[in-house]
Amino acid sequence: MTLTVTIQGIDTMRIALRQGLTSAVEELSQSTLAALVAATPIKSGRARSGWQAKTGKDTFTVENKVPYIQRLENNWSKQTRGKGIVGPALNQVKGKFK
């Protein structure tokens, strides 16, 4: 006796999975950027507006080239409450995607 199961529409499912994955990665990327911006202390707004996102083939990079961004990350501003910028931002994003 043989039991056969045939699944049709594999290509359609593959396309849907890719689209869903692409959408999820884009949402994660935008959420990360938004969380970093929100966690950045604001005095003049220069550091907040300095965040830039770049998407590569297999990478997503967020960077800030403001000369004093590392000092802000290292709690130079009282606004970070001793927690920096990146840690709280990533914790927020992790909580959103659990």
Half-sphere exposure of 67 (CA within 13 A, CB side): 0
Question: Which pTM value belongs to this model?
Answer: 0.79
As a whole-number percent, the residues of the chain with pLDDT over 70 amount to 98
Residue 55 Cα distances to 6, 40, 49, 61, 98, angstroms = 38, 21, 18, 6, 23
pLDDT single digits (tens) 17-52: 988 888 888 899 999 999 999 999 988 999 999 999
As a whole-number percent, the residues of the chain with pLDDT over 90 amount to 41
pLDDT single digits (tens) 5-14: 778 888 998 8
DSSP secondary structure letter of residue 98: -
